[in-house]
Amino acid sequence: MTVQALKHQHKIQHLLQSIGLPKSVYYYQCKALKSPEPYATEMASIEKIFHKHKGRYGYRRIRYALHRDGIHLNHKTVQRLMAKLGLKSTVRP
């Protein structure tokens, strides 16, 4: 964020005025950047299972593997997290 880089040289109020950003939005974004990823451990597990099976497991099989490990997630959540990680299974003919 440019405001973060320039806030030591100028007042935040003037920086936000110049770019037309409300103060509440700025502080909301600062807080959001500091918060941890909500599904960080689950994403690590998904990636581990995906690479363990050489990219052959799709979201359904990964969901069942997570379920066996005691991690209960909805299939749509697994799909979304796989898309976020850039994981896509290979399709067999």
Task: Show the tokens assigned to 42.
Answer: 């689950």
* Domain that residue 67 falls in: 40-85
Q: What is the mean pLDDT of residues 55-77?
A: 96
One domain, residues 26 and 45? no
- Rounded to 5, what percent of the chain is helix, strand, coil? 65, 0, 35
pLDDT in tens, 8-41: 899 989 999 999 999 999 999 999 888 888 999 9
Instruction: Establish if 14 belongs to a structural domain.
Output: yes
pTM: 0.70
Instruction: Establish if 25 belongs to a structural domain.
Output: yes
One domain, residues 68 and 48? yes
